[in-house]
Structure 1
Amino acid sequence: MGTFSFKLPDIGEGIAEAEIVSWHVAVGDMVEEDAPLADLMTDKATVEMTSPVTGRITRLSGEVGEMLAIGSILAELEVEGDVDAQPEPEPAPEAPAAPAEVKEPDPVPEPVEAKPEPEPKPEPEPAPDPAPVAERQRVLASPAVRKRAKDLGIDLADVKPAEDGRVRHGDLDAFLSYNAGGGYRPAGGKREDEQVRVIGMRRRIAESMAASKRHIPHFTYVDEIDVTKLEELRADLNATRGAKPKLTMLPLLITAICKTLPDFPMINARYDDEAGIVNRSGAVHLGMATQTDAGLMVPVIRNAESRNIWQLASEIVRLAEAARSGNATSQELSGSTLTLTSLGPMGGIASTPVINRPEVAIIAPNKVVERPMFRGDKVVAAKLMNLSISCDHRVVDGWDAASYVQAIKRLLETPALLLAD
């Protein structure tokens, strides 16, 4: 037997440390090669760490919520054969060597072939311990799904995936629908008091929002927009879209945002307050605030100004799915120059969104409501939507914000202008 020390590898992009978000194993567990050990979060994204060898966990470093330096030991495993602790420079090269010598084919056939007659005796000893654990480790699921299952008290091994063997959020929903146990509390049921540690994505959000409010003097401007004609256009486009994605309001709004920004360069910018420099961006890298099980994430539509409404619709769907499944890359979660946040039909009548620092503005459409409105001497039914914008008053003046929103309003209320080149 030997001990294999698995050190936290270099995750890239100059990351010096990562936060332990969750452990998938405990001391004493048997794990297979490539089984998930832990989820770690950097400033950019959540990364799932998997075991490079097959063995039994003898030591885990750190509690959930603690920071771990790159190169420090994440876990130690007892493995079969002579396996030295992982050398300092690179954890990765050692990983393939260990499993190659220690593959499980030896231990598994041995009890069956070596002792065929007293079959009942060898069977109980190896099976109860490793088998259930190994089974659990083989469940495929994203970090976001694992965290949600853990919060709900659901063992992923009990959930039957609908397709390709991978547990998704829909599978958890189906499990909850048919099984009120496993930690699930029906609506209206009494909950016990509990303490919840602010860790992982929730801690990142808390720190980011606090820094934004602490450093940025916010102001918010709200205007009302008649989107009756725009909604008619959207319905017509959807009716004839063929294989193209269904249009929501967002691709049309993003198009209006991008078309008006060249006249308002102070809006599409990032403020380096330490250097005292405002970096105005020519391209529109639009952050799209997205609610996920792990918390609010902001995937980025790169060069939104160069995409048509159908391309924007496809990219919105792709990025939202990547964020919610935990598969968004660090590049897809950074570098935005302006952010759009929307609660869709639940959007309320007005909002005062918090700026995604170091950007200088954030835009929030509110829900579309049908109300009576005067058109000349007549009262007609109109579809109205309030549009909110929060700005950094150090960089953007109230006049600029109001003028910008009214420029967007002109395009949305006259959709022919919106789609004209």
Structure 2
Amino acid sequence: MGEFVIKMPDVGEGVAEAELVEWHVKAGDPVREDMVIAAVMTDKATVEIPSPVTGTVVWLGAEIGDKIAVKAPLVRIETAGEGGEDKAAAPAPAPPKPVQPLRLVEPAMPAAEKQPAAPREATAKLAEKPLASPAVRLFAREHGIDLRQVAGSGPVGRILREDIDQFVARGAAFSPAPIAPARKTATEEIKLTGLRRRIAEKMSLAVSRIPHITYVEEIDVTALEELRATMNRDRKPEQAKLTVLPFLMRAIVKAVAEQPNFNATFDDHAGILTRHSAVHMGIATQTPAGLMVPVVRHAEARSVWDCAGEMSRLADAARAGTATRDELSGSTITISSLGALGGVVSTPVINHPEVAIVGVNKIAVRPIFDGTQFVPRKIMNLSSSFDHRIIDGWDAATFVQRIRTLLETPALIFIEG
């Protein structure tokens, strides 16, 4: 018999550690060669770790949520042959599977808060469910009688119809007895692991290091919605359905061409702003595992239809957990949209190290005065945040107003140059 040690493999370039998000085995379990034994996460990508040997697990080196350094011992397996160390574990990508263990804590109630004992004639304790037939329960409910106040004379304290009659005869009225709502003292402790912890860390980083300025403007998208409906009606079967976002993507492409500082990333340690000619558009997407940002690469070279198709493909991959690391990284500017739940105003958090994020609020029909009368128009707010170290308020307003012009006159989106 020997012992084989599986070490934490190198799961990506420049990655020094990964977070353990799932165990597929426990001590004492048999394993076979190539069987997945654990899953780790780094940079929003989950990687499964297989066993290179057959044997029995004798030791696990971490708990869910722990961060493990590359080459640190992860699992020890007892094998039939000689022992050794795993030097080339080959991780395979897998969908993110967030783990959120719950631990229910029921604090003890202080002596001063303990409830007094129930009255003697109510032999059934208030905290216990009284025994009674469905017919008796229905009768009591219809007449507003709390069965917990009725003493049962049947077997094992079962409440009979006669018991209710006697209860009423003793002077109790057919009205619900006032019962104070039960106090709730339980708490839940939820350990943030996997993607949820990554999101928390990234949001903390962005808010703590980026001084945000948020600018809100309302956009009249009546003409855009008419154009979108026409294009969707005439679209080909292989074309994705158009939403507002592909038009917004193309408008942003035109706007950043005039103000390149907005399509940039900022290294605040080195003090270097990198302006990108390629527009890699991050699309904040809600998934069952949490918020992800798949990236539509080279939006500057895509048509509205192409933007819609690629955005749909990436959103489906993110929700299914099959998006690759490259598809979830490398954005230069981000769009955030909550769709029909978009509210009136939001304050989107910049996707570090970018310097701008454009937030889309819901479309609503509002009465707008055209100079002579109020007319119904479809209005959508844009709530956009910018890194105030790089973007001044005037520049932010100019950027958003350019997008507004393009969306309110959507023919301009299709004019090249």
Q: CA deviation at 1:33?
A: 3.3
Alignment CA distance shift 1:73-1:279 (3 Å): same
Is the 1:48–1:143 Cα contact (8 Å) retained in structure 2? no
Q: Which amino acid letter does the alignment assign opposite residue 65 of structure 1?
A: G
CA contact (8 A) 1:340 1:364 kept: yes
User: Among residues 348, 351, 360, which one is paired with 1:353 in the alignment?
Assistant: 348
Matched residue, 1:396: 391
Deviation at 1:143, TM superposition (A): 4.0
Q: 2:410 corresponds to which letter in structure 1?
A: P
Is 1:275 aligned with 2:274?
Answer: no
The one of 230, 237, 241 equivalent to 2:231 is 237
SS of the residue 1:12 aligns to: coil
User: What CA distance in whole angstroms lies between the structure 2 residues aligned with 1:359 and 1:229?
Assistant: 31
**Which position in structure 1 is the counterpart of 2:69?**
69
Is 2:208 aligned against 1:217?
Answer: no
Distance in structure 1 (CA, Å) of the matches to 2:385 and 2:303 = 26
Q: Secondary structure at the match of 2:344?
A: coil
Q: Give 1:138-149 correspondences, 5 Å limit.
A: 143-145=95-97, 147=99
In 2, the alpha carbon distance for the partners of 1:22 and 1:315 equals 31
TM-fit CA distance, 1:324: 2.1
Asked if the contact 2:44–2:195 (Cα under 8 Å) also holds between the matched residues in 1, the reply is: no
Check whether the contact 1:286–1:301 (CA below 8 A) recurs between aligned residues. Answer: yes
Amino acid at match of 2:83: D
Displacement, 1:291?
Answer: 1.5
Quote the residue 2:8 is aligned against: 8
The residue identity in structure 1 corresponding to 2:37 is L
Task: Supply the RMSD in Å over aligned alpha carbons.
Answer: 2.3
Check 1:296–1:191 CA distance in 2 against 1; reply closer, same or farther (3 A cut).
farther
* 1:407-418 equivalence runs, <5 A: 407-418=402-413
- Tell me, what secondary structure is at the counterpart of 2:201? helix
Which segment drifts farther, 264-273 or 21-30?
21-30
Contact 2:220–2:379 at 8 Å: present in 1 too? yes
Match of 1:90 among 88, 91, 100: 88
Aligned to 1:341: 336
Q: Secondary structure at the match of 1:195?
A: strand
1:302 matched to 2:297: yes
Q: Where do 5+ consecutive residues of structure 1 fail to align?
A: 96-140, 152-189
SS in 2 for 1:224: strand
User: Which of 184, 197, 201 is the equivalent residue of 1:203?
Assistant: 197
1:109-131 C-alpha deviation (Å, 9 max, x unpaired): xxxxxxxxxxxxxxxxxxxxxxx
- Judged with a 3 Å threshold, the aligned counterparts in structure 2 of structure 1 residues 240 and 192 are, in CA distance, closer, same or farther, namely farther
Q: Secondary structure at the match of 1:395?
A: coil
1:382 counterpart (368, 377, 383): 377
Rounded Cα–Cα distance in structure 1 between residues aligned with 2:280 and 2:59: 44
Partners of 1:191 and 1:262 in 2: CA distance: 57
**Identical-residue share of aligned pairs (%):** 53
Q: Aligned equivalents of 1:224 and 1:70: distance in 2?
A: 49
Q: Report the TM-score when normalising by structure 1.
A: 0.74
| TM-aligned CA deviation for residue 299 of structure 1 | 1.6
